[in-house]
Amino acid sequence: MSALSADDSKRLAAAKAAELVRDGMRLGLGTGSTAKHFVDFIGEKVRAGMKLLCVPTSEATRAQAAALGIPLTTLDETPELDLTVDGADEFDPQMRLIKGGGGALLREKIVAAASARMVVITDSSKKVDTLGRFPLPIEVVPFGLEATRRRIEKVASATGCRGSLSLRQGQDGKPFLTDGGHFILDGSFGRIPDPEPLAAALTAIPGVVEHGLFLGLAKAVIVADAAGVDIIGDLG
């Protein structure tokens, strides 16, 4: 087995996903270091003359795509997409995901839900048997933060998740702000034994904008490491 860095693996997974892209497609472009490779491949395809129309899932991805000359649209102009390719912080054998490590979970989920297919690209370090090793990002409105935090703690505990909720900090030492102007609470639960009831309970809390559990959205996960590329699910 040759040495392959995590970033090489991410690039390999992104290259495999780029093979799914056909002329005329409407694409969702994910966010993060893995999705960044995919956006680079899309830039190459556009330069080579492929006609694509893309919706970015963050301002960071928008800036990268615009710099590469990728034609961009919005979900208002193009409400249905053919394919979204995005990274993940964790995935389990049922292709349930934790996303939001980069803080783009809200737009990522909206774009994935507007797509006929979501394909996840990742290196093998993101694979888990049970979700929850990666802290679960929960996007909340700043108003009423402490009240919302307590309600999240209660519903998490009721669904078997115990652990601290910490307010994500930005590099400036102030609370991290998402592209939508919200805060993120990261739930260090260790294990999320039952993601579906937790997801439903979080969604029902006033003040919670979105959470990083992506359930039933991914149609396939492309996992790369030094051993090669593995496909979970159905790429078609």
Shortest distance, position 32 Cβ to ligand 5RP, whole Å = 3
43 neighbors 66 (Cβ within 8 angstroms): no
Q: Among 56, 101, 163, 207, which residue interacts with ligand 5RP (rule: CB under 6 A)?
A: 101
Name 187's bridge partners.
136, 165
Q: In the complex with ligand 5RP, which residue's Cβ is closer, 28 or 100?
A: 100
Q: Minimum CB separation from ligand 5RP for residue 137, in Å?
A: 7
**Is residue 95 left, alpha or beta, with left meaning phi > 0 and alpha meaning psi from -120 to 50?**
left
Q: Which two tokens stand for residue 213?
A: 């559990």
Q: Site map for ligand 5RP, 25-64, x if CB under 6 A?
A: -----xxxxxx-----------------------------
In this structure, what token pair is assigned to residue 120? 């996840």
Coil, helix or strand for 126?
A: helix
Token pair listed for 129: 């048997």
Least distance to ligand 5RP from the beta carbon of 37, Å?
9
| CB of 85 vs ligand 5RP, minimal distance in Å | 10
Q: Which two tokens mark 111?
A: 């774009």
Contact flags string 129-168 toward ligand 5RP, x per CB under 6 A: ----------------------------------------
108 is catalytic: yes
Catalytic residue among 59, 90, 108, 153: 108
**Dist. CA 183–CA 169, nearest whole Å:** 9
Name residues contacting ligand 5RP, limited to 61-100 (CB under 6 A): 86-89, 99-100
- Please give the Cα distance from 213 to 196 (Å, whole number): 9
Residue 10 burial (CB < 10 Å; 0-12/13-18/19+)? buried
Residues binding ligand 5RP: what is the number (CB under 6 A)? 18
Cα gap 31→183, rounded to integer Å: 18
Q: Minimum CB separation from ligand 5RP for residue 58, in Å?
A: 7
Specify the amino acid at residue 98.
Answer: I
Assess 102 for contact with ligand 5RP (CB under 6 A): yes
Question: Looking at the annotation, which residues are catalytic?
Answer: 108
Q: Which residues bind ligand 5RP (CB under 6 A)?
A: 30-35, 86-89, 99-105, 108
